[in-house]
Structure 1
Amino acid sequence: MSAAIINLAYLLAVALFVLGLKGLSHPRTAVRGNRLGATGMLIAIVATLLDRQILSYEWILVGLVVGALAGSVMALRVPMTAMPQMVAVLNGFGGAASALVAGASIVESALPDAQLGVPLAQLTAAESLDKADPKLLEIWRQFEGEPAEGGAPPTPEDREARFRRFREQFSGPENLAQLDRALAAAFAPFEQRGLLDSPSTELGRGNPDEAIVRPRGAPEPLLRVKLAEVLLGDKSAVQQSLRTHVPPDETADLLFNWVKPRLAPTLEVDLEQTAAARQKASEAVPEVTDVFKAGQLLVSARDPKTGEPIRLSAEQIELLRLEDQAAQMQRTAGEQIVRALTVLVLIFVMFVLCGMYMRYRQRGPLDSVSRLLTLIVMAAATVGGAKLLSADPWRAELIPLLLFGMTMSIAYRQELALVVVTAIALIVTLAAGHDLYEFALLMSVTTVGVVNVGRIRTRRKLIYVGLACGALAAVLDVAIALLNNHPLNVFLLTDAARIGLWGLAAGFLMTGLLPFIEQVFGVLTDLSLLELGDVSHPLLQELVRRAPSTYNHSLTVGAIAEAAAEAIGARGLFVRVGAYFHDIGKMLKPGYFVENQGAEGSRHEGLVPAMSTLVIIAHIKDGSDLARQYRLPQPIIDLIVQHHGTTLVEYFYDRAHERSQSDPNGDEPDENLFRYPGPKPQTKEAAVLMLADAVESASRTLIDPAPARIESLVRSIAERRLHDGQFDESGLTLRELRTIEKSLVVSLISIYHGRIKYPEPRGEARPDARDAREPREARGEPTSQRASASAAEDRKNDDAAVPAAAPAATKD
């Protein structure tokens, strides 16, 4: 039957199914729905039977009879109340039938000879290829297979003649039965031996010709077979077996073309057992020794015919390595001891120099055991990685050395990085067996990386540094080769390009490792500082909401502190970002600090001086707690804790002193109770922040912020901090202190710069003195804070809020 009629029947069946389902949706149309559905199913079954070219209808008739009898009995005996149970049973039978069909499909797919009957019956039923439908032509193409590579495709006449011979050979039940027996005999050996896909990719090198077959999980072998007897593919044992049992060869090849894509391998390579067998066979082979006489040429660097340089093979390089090992083994015990002692003394001296530099110049790695252990582990990992990567064909010892040098430069200072890298580069050179030329190359390239890392403000910085290191490494490699009389050829340029690539690779690796390096060493690069200093940070937004004047003060301090830090070569960006967060503790009690007080006055009026001091000092601890809660980096927390050092809260100390003087029974106040807990500034950046914070707050008390007054104020505050010992632990020099003072003076003068007074419009009343003072009073500053410049220079408390009703304390 044609495909068009079959498809039309299937389409009609689908339409009847849809109409039947619609009819089942209502009790009145349920009977009609059942009939429509049954009719659709009947049409689908008949179309399937006609389409699939069923060879035997006996079993189908038996199934129909049995099903009809069972359905009749259930229709007569099962009451309507038990209909749900009956439907469930019938659904169960349907599921079981689906499982049986699936199992039969699996079995049928595993037995190609069992599948062959259907297409053979279809082909033998056809008269010729010309009258065959497209589906039958597709089946015949599966038997023909693809034409041989390079061969011409068969003509239509050849195809037709081959089809007739094939159809005549298998027409009739007797011929099909005979074919079935021949196929069983052809596949019988493979049911025992099994089938295997091409194992070349799994077995690796070698050319095995035998295989030991064993059941999965069984230790004992089943049989030993030739690989050719179990391999699938063209011209395999399966094809030969078919040619033996199903003559002629043309027919066997046609059957093999159809069977081949349906054959599934039943064997797989046991790599573990194969490796063990190889090792056992290798150990059984006696060792072969080649003898080379002294003076005999092992490897030639040039082609003997053309004289051109050649690239050494892996075997030649291995031969040279063995020769070097043999030369080292021929050294006497005394020579080996002297060499070992020399290397140990050299390494010991280098590390002693590194330790002395750390002891007297930079104690960063010696401050804690964890930092020192981290440095030692990094150095050991660098040497081990460089030794591992120095082998051929990689020669990539530059990568770990560059990573180590740039990490040291980021975590500590560049000077310490250069000192330690020199020692590590020497050890790597000795461990890899290189000469001084290689040491010079490693040191030069690593020095460029260490010096150029600097401040990392962009993510591309480290990639550019790696590119510069790679370019220098390539140039130095060519220069060293030319100094050693190597010709300039493609091999030399290839090696130089490879070394340059390692430098670039180190830059990319460093970019990815940077966040982990910052976390391990507790450092902040400029890139992280730029992200941290974003005004959208939750802490800064909270500070704006709770204490806007403190936020404005922090921004101003950050601006002038950054300029001062840059003036002495310190990290200005670090100081600026630290200044943004240095007073975040004030947001918990903003009303107790003068910049946040409004017209309602000071909250310290009802507190004794000691209690007011505790409130003022508490903003340091509150700030550090908030910083840890929001996971700020430790260097920023250090600035928060150190920006007041151990300075005296002078205003409340003086008030306590006045009270003790006025009270005959009063005791002299303890100065230690009115000091910040510290510690004192430990870095130059912390000292700069301390001065900037103090002078910015004090400058706001100047009624007339003239340049001379500002300069006198800054010098006075700096001198008092210096005499109080606040800079003793910061490493700040007197020259740097004077430079900071000048920078702060310039910044404050630019902030309080003068303006031209415009003439008054005619006809308007001139504001009186009270009106002229209104802008300052509108800011909510207590009048007592407007002391003279001499008072601000003499006594400054940048955090304490002075009660509005208290008289201004001045000294002449």
Structure 2
Amino acid sequence: MPPNGARKRVRIPRVQLTLAPGATARVLGQLKRGSVLGRLALAFVALCAIWISTRPWLPPFEYHLGYTPARDVVARVDFSKPNPLLSETDLPTYRQYKAGDPLASAGKPLKVETLELLRYEYLAYTEKLPLTRQVERGLAVFGMMLVLAVVCGFALYHREPRLLARWHRFAVMLLMLTLAVAASVWASQDPWRAELVPLLVAAMTFGIAYGRELAMVLAFSMALVTAIAVGQSLGEFLMLMGVVSAAVLQLGRVRSRRKLIGVGFFAGLIALPLTLGVGLLMDQPLGWPLLSDALRNAMWTLLAGFLITGLLPFIEGLCGVVTEISLLELADVAHPLLQELVRRAPGTYNHSINVASLAEAAAEAIGARGLLVRVGAYFHDIGKMLKPAYFVENQAGENSRHDHLVPAMSTLIIIAHVKDGADLARQHRLPEPIVDFIEQHHGTTLVEYFYRRASEQSEQDGEAAVVPESSFRYPGPKPQTVEAAVLMLADAVESAARTLVEPGSSCIESLVHELAMKRLLDGQFDECGLTLKQLATIEDSLSKSLIAMYHARVKYPEQRTA
């Protein structure tokens, strides 16, 4: 301590919060790329379409049939309303109203005649609204929508970046957003007041296609824009979000169409008390008008569940996703492609079944979609059926046909099964996620056996040139999802385990770890978001499954023949 108890002053260096050298240039460079600019332009066009569909430059008409105003409603401007004609020969007459004249009484539900009067007043008010005020309103709403679009963009980038990589899927998502908001605004009018139906159908579609987290962000944005466009209060907006949230959060993994109807029924049960509670908080009397609103919202919610059930096949095709319902249908081994694989390449079929068992357990262990991985494993090697004799599992003790080929030609035949399999899958209209498994299960790995043979032949021939690895690598792409990474490892360890002379526990664990590290260091998991913790869990699951598959058996004494 310094003398006299004085505290020693410590100089703290100032830290400049600036970007690293070149970071700004990299960001600007990414924004200047044609693909990024194209997607931003597409999103801006969708934003403008939503903005136009809501007509934000005009104030919304806030009243509907059965609504009970909390205070007297008076005219804001002078206007006239035609009187009903007593006969067809009568000339039309008009009743004049002055600004401040009472139009509706507090505490009385609005009837058809009163609602018509309020609409005439609204049309007169919007006609006399100054242009500057309309511009201010339009720009204010556009700014709010722009902020929501940025928030949705960040959520999309972090939760579903693969969606941004594909023009078609990104455009479909923007189109669904635009149509959902436009349909909600249109359906909110009397007598239907069914804005919940488009919102729920869109939100549940996003939940099925892109996950619940992203669906909640998009649903919040759609509900907020709709509430502002139709003049709903904060309570009514919260009611919309409560019902939509209840439906999205109940989705999870859809393994039956009955679940979708159940989701609609559950959300309908939520809609009843929410509508009643919001109405009472807004000083609506507890009577038939409020009860009918609650029943109507519950009915629309249940209808949305039925609609999403019927639209499910179209959703899968448009969004490029596959649900658990479709996966259960594809998991049937009686599928024509699998039956053809059994007939042409029985060894490959047996290998695929084993890989499916290993991969499904490993995927479930890390919380991934085990059923998706299992179906992907069933079909991942279907390309081998075109040249089955060139793959070791189908040779059944025969001499290898590769003995009479140069390593480069053998490599081309081996690598071709990926492209052949993808072509067969598309011909049989398998979902795109299953095709992705076929194309990604080898990534850009090296065909080591033939690469080593080529290197040995080059040394024996006295050639100084090094054999290029690129000629002996699969074309890719690398695994883009954790499910594809699981399949890659399961495929590798199942094949390698067959070569073990004594498949003991320690030997299998060492083999699995060695292959996992080889794929990791080769960069095969760079694009799928797989963590080291998940990789360790996958290793553990694969090791346990293989040990169970190759467990030791008791040797029975010789039996006497009869």
What corresponds to 1:538 in structure 2? 336
Q: Say whether the 8 Å CA contact 2:104–2:110 is kept in structure 1.
A: no
Could you list the per-position Cα deviations for residues 146-197 of structure 1 after superposition, in whole angstroms to 9, with x for gaps in the alignment? xxxxxxxxxxxxxxxxxxxxxxxxxxxxxxxxxxxxxxxxxxxxxxxxxxxx
Q: Say whether the 8 Å CA contact 2:184–2:197 is kept in structure 1.
A: yes
| 1:316 Cα deviation after fit | 2.0
More divergent stretch after superposition (485-494 vs 346-355): 485-494
Which of residues 544, 548, 552 in structure 2 aligns to 1:754? Answer: 552
| Paired residues, number | 477
Which of residues 85, 88, 92 in structure 2 aligns to 1:286? Answer: 92
Residue ranges of structure 1 left out of the alignment (5+ in a row): 1-278, 303-310, 765-812
Change (3 A) 1:369 1:664: closer
Change (3 A) 1:560 1:447: same
The one-letter code sitting in structure 1 at the alignment partner of 2:522 is: D
The one-letter code sitting in structure 1 at the alignment partner of 2:510 is: S
What corresponds to 2:250 in structure 1? 452
Q: TM-score when scaled to structure 2?
A: 0.80
Change (3 A) 1:590 1:624: same
The one-letter code sitting in structure 2 at the alignment partner of 1:387 is: V
What corresponds to 1:21 in structure 2? none
The one-letter code sitting in structure 1 at the alignment partner of 2:487 is: L
| 1:287 Cα deviation after fit | 4.2
Q: Say whether the 8 Å CA contact 2:103–2:118 is kept in structure 1.
A: no
| 1:328 Cα deviation after fit | 5.7
After TM superposition, the structure 1 = structure 2 runs for residues 54-93 of structure 1, keeping only pairs within 5 Å, are: none
After TM superposition, the structure 1 = structure 2 runs for residues 403-802 of structure 1, keeping only pairs within 5 Å, are: 403-665=201-463, 667-760=465-558
Equivalents in 1 of 2:535, 2:346: separation in Å?
31
| 1:727 Cα deviation after fit | 0.7
The one-letter code sitting in structure 1 at the alignment partner of 2:92 is: P
Q: Secondary structure at the match of 2:257?
A: coil
Query: Larger Cα Rg: Structure 1 or Structure 2?
Result: 1
Q: Say whether the 8 Å CA contact 2:360–2:374 is kept in structure 1.
A: yes
Could you list the per-position Cα deviations for residues 214-254 of structure 1 after superposition, in whole angstroms to 9, with x for gaps in the alignment? xxxxxxxxxxxxxxxxxxxxxxxxxxxxxxxxxxxxxxxxx
The one-letter code sitting in structure 1 at the alignment partner of 2:512 is: V
Which of residues 376, 384, 391 in structure 1 aligns to 2:182? Answer: 384
Residue ranges of structure 2 left out of the alignment (5+ in a row): 1-84
Which of residues 301, 309, 315 in structure 1 aligns to 2:107? Answer: 301
| 1:326 Cα deviation after fit | 5.2
Equivalents in 2 of 1:507, 1:579: separation in Å?
32
| 1:501 Cα deviation after fit | 0.3
What corresponds to 1:401 in structure 2? 199
What corresponds to 2:117 in structure 1? 319
Equivalents in 1 of 2:548, 2:534: separation in Å?
21
Equivalents in 2 of 1:282, 1:675: separation in Å?
86
| 1:546 Cα deviation after fit | 0.9
| 1:391 Cα deviation after fit | 0.9
Q: Secondary structure at the match of 1:725?
A: coil
- Structural RMSD (CA): 2.4
Identity score, percent = 55
Equivalents in 2 of 1:292, 1:481: separation in Å?
31
Equivalents in 2 of 1:318, 1:668: separation in Å?
86
Equivalents in 1 of 2:430, 2:134: separation in Å?
55
Q: Secondary structure at the match of 2:107?
A: coil
What corresponds to 1:210 in structure 2? none
Q: Say whether the 8 Å CA contact 1:301–1:312 is kept in structure 2.
A: no
| 1:359 Cα deviation after fit | 3.2
Equivalents in 2 of 1:550, 1:505: separation in Å?
46
| 1:293 Cα deviation after fit | 6.0
Change (3 A) 1:654 1:520: same
The one-letter code sitting in structure 2 at the alignment partner of 1:391 is: Q
Could you list the per-position Cα deviations for residues 302-326 of structure 1 after superposition, in whole angstroms to 9, with x for gaps in the alignment? 4xxxxxxxx5322222233444555
The one-letter code sitting in structure 2 at the alignment partner of 1:529 is: L
After TM superposition, the structure 1 = structure 2 runs for residues 123-162 of structure 1, keeping only pairs within 5 Å, are: none
Change (3 A) 1:370 1:623: closer
Could you list the per-position Cα deviations for residues 321-342 of structure 1 after superposition, in whole angstroms to 9, with x for gaps in the alignment? 4445556666665554443332
Q: Say whether the 8 Å CA contact 1:358–1:364 is kept in structure 2.
A: no
Q: Say whether the 8 Å CA contact 2:320–2:433 is kept in structure 1.
A: yes
Change (3 A) 1:610 1:334: closer
| 1:374 Cα deviation after fit | 2.0
| 1:537 Cα deviation after fit | 0.8
Equivalents in 2 of 1:642, 1:364: separation in Å?
14
Equivalents in 2 of 1:760, 1:689: separation in Å?
41
